[in-house]
Homo-oligomer: A and B are copies of this chain.
Amino acid sequence: MLLEKINVWPDREDVFLQAYIQEDSSQISKGRRRPAVLVLPGGAYLFTSDREAEPVALRFAGLGYHAFVLRYSVFFGQGARSDNWSAASGPAPGNPHAAYPGPLFDLAKAMLIIREQADRWLLDPEQIALCGFSAGGHLAASLGVHWTDGFLKDHIQADNRFFRPAAMILGYPLTDCLNLSKEAERIKGKDITLIEYWHVFNLAVFHQPEPPDQVLADASPVLFVNQDTPPAFLWHTATDGLVPVAQSLDMAAAMSKMGIPCELHVFENGPHGLSLADAATAETPDQINEPAQAWFALARNWLNRHLPVLPAE
């Protein structure tokens, strides 16, 4: 295995790809190119969660995929924690690059970088899947629906085809900022913590605590699903208290309506942010959830149909 850390922008240290590259073996791959999975941790664009980063990449590496983690632009910086989000403890003002579509530029550029290294790594540039969690799922879905758009081409100065994800795995993703804001409105006065969290999230993503509907809609991938959107595997828990399960249900409905292949698994119970739902990513015992652990095996089977790792012969 080859570990490489690559800065996405020459003049910035906070946005980088961590690569986990499979080395060729004359006894296994014999010079064959492999598919890849790029992991996008969540963290509400405030930070990027370690729990949804390397352990997930290692799980895919164990299946024979080249794996990557992208640490994209976030409001509080990479070292910050979810516990730090309150207005009192968070450094202010936050990172302006975290505002939408800043992280989407990071991701598009990262896709280009991976393709530039594809020959050296024996990586199939047409077989790069995204695996995003929560805000990382929002980011993955955003590229999935916008990779053909001119604003990415203009910003990165590269042809759109270099940004194309071949598939996307979305774990408890945020897909509809507009709908989420309505949900926040609905619970006003009932759940102060959650409201405050959403305000900080909105500050990070939109530079304002309560953005107008059009701004929220523009950053809602569920509204932009189109014929070029890649197949998706979605999973969520029905009792997610932070990103409602409707965010996945609506995405699946939008994809199905457009005729894009889509698989969805909703587990009955479990909090937001389970990641692998086992001890490899659990900070607390309630993050171990045996029924929800099944998502990875299901995703593996799905990925094996869309982007299989093939034997050499």
Contacts and interface: CB of A to CB of B under 8 A. Distances in A.
A184 interface: no
Nearest to A25: B50
A283 interface: yes
Number of copies: 2
A220 interface: no
Contacts of A259: none
A151 to B, nearest CB: 33
| Dominant SS among interface residues on chain A | loop
Interface string A9-38: 000000000001001011110100000000
A202 to B, nearest CB: 24
A143 B127 CA distance: 43
Contacts of A64: 55, 278-281
Contacts of A25: 50-51
A283 B135 CA distance: 38
Contact of A311 (B26, B59, B288, B313): B288
Contact of A283 (B1, B23, B50, B312): B312
Interface of A: 1, 3, 20, 23, 25-28, 30, 49-51, 54-55, 58-59, 61-64, 81, 278-285, 287-288, 304, 308-313
18 contacts: A1-B20, A1-B54, A26-B50, A27-B283, A28-B51, A28-B283, A58-B62, A61-B62, A63-B278, A63-B280, A64-B279, A64-B281, A279-B308, A279-B310, A279-B311, A283-B312, A283-B313, A284-B313
Report, nearest first, the 8 A-B pairs whose CB atoms are least far apart.
Answer: A64-B280, A282-B311, A59-B62, A62-B62, A279-B309, A25-B50, A27-B50, A58-B62
